[in-house]
A = this chain, B = another copy of it.
Amino acid sequence: MSDQLSSTFAALADPTRRAILARLAEGEATVNELAEPFEMSLPAISKHLKVLERAGLISRGRNAQWRPCQLEAAPLAEAADWVETYRRFWDTSFDRLDAHLRSLQDQNIQRED
């Protein structure tokens, strides 16, 4: 379970961690600021942040005794890519996208000629 996709999905599987990411989407925050909405001890939040950091979903700076956290969305791009490959199984409009992609591919093939 050490590949990037696995640790990303594992990190996202916890609602507290998703809420932390949602908060960070509004901008940097300190650990105490992130902990504030939760009825949970600070060490528990610290652990969640470590999970997010090891999954590459956040980075942490340093400002005096504060350790501001910042969203790092790159792993989400990979997760989105993975999920997108299944879009045709739920999105009926995929037919149009699929046709569009195939026509693009056709154009590339023509250029290669």
Contact = CB atoms under 8 A, between A and B. Distances in A.
Contacts of A21: 86
Interface of A is mostly: helix
Interface string A1-13: 1010111011011
A5 B74 CA distance: 20
Interface string A53-83: 0000000000000000001011011011011
Contact of A80 (B6, B73, B83): B83
A26 to B, nearest CB: 11
Contacts of A76: 83, 86-87, 89-90
A74 B91 CA distance: 9
Interface in A18-53: 18, 21, 25
Given A9-B13, A25-B85, A73-B89, 11 more contacts: A5-B12, A6-B14, A6-B15, A12-B82, A76-B86, A76-B89, A77-B90, A77-B91, A80-B80, A80-B87, A83-B83
